[in-house]
Amino acid sequence: MLLQTVTPVSVLGTTVLLALFLSVTAHIAARNVLGDVDPRRALYIGPLPAVISVVGNALELPAGLILLAALLVDGTMFWWSYERSRRAVAAMTLIHAVVTTLLAGVLILISILLASMPG
């Protein structure tokens, strides 16, 4: 059994990569709802939900609580970044959650296939 140690660098790397992933999927969600938008605005959305996820899991909080907090912050960041109506923000947040879940699932399955490749 391989025992992995958690270092500050690994936690920071995980948080940064998750924030970038969430920013990319936030841009996809914003484009889906609003059309052509500035991709730099999506960079404001990813970091806070990423921090909530990493800290919540480090503190071993219930997954439902972490998810609810991340979605609320996600919606707040969409509202702050794009300054749209509640309906548009709700649509962007929902689409962001769906796109993130689907893309993460695809990436996980690809990594499983690559790990099980013979040779």
Residues in the chain: 119
Gap between the Cα atoms of 119 and 102, Å rounded: 29
Q: What share of the chain is helix, strand, coil (3-state, %, to 5)?
A: 80, 0, 20
User: For position 106, what pLDDT does the model report?
Assistant: 97
| pLDDT by residue, tens only, the chain of 119 residues | 566 788 899 999 999 999 999 999 999 999 999 999 999 999 999 999 999 999 999 999 999 999 999 999 999 999 999 999 999 999 999 999 999 999 999 999 999 999 998 87
User: For position 1, what pLDDT does the model report?
Assistant: 55
User: For position 3, what pLDDT does the model report?
Assistant: 66
Q: What pTM value is reported for the model?
A: 0.90
User: For position 2, what pLDDT does the model report?
Assistant: 64
Contacts of 90 (CB under 8 A, 6+ apart): 75
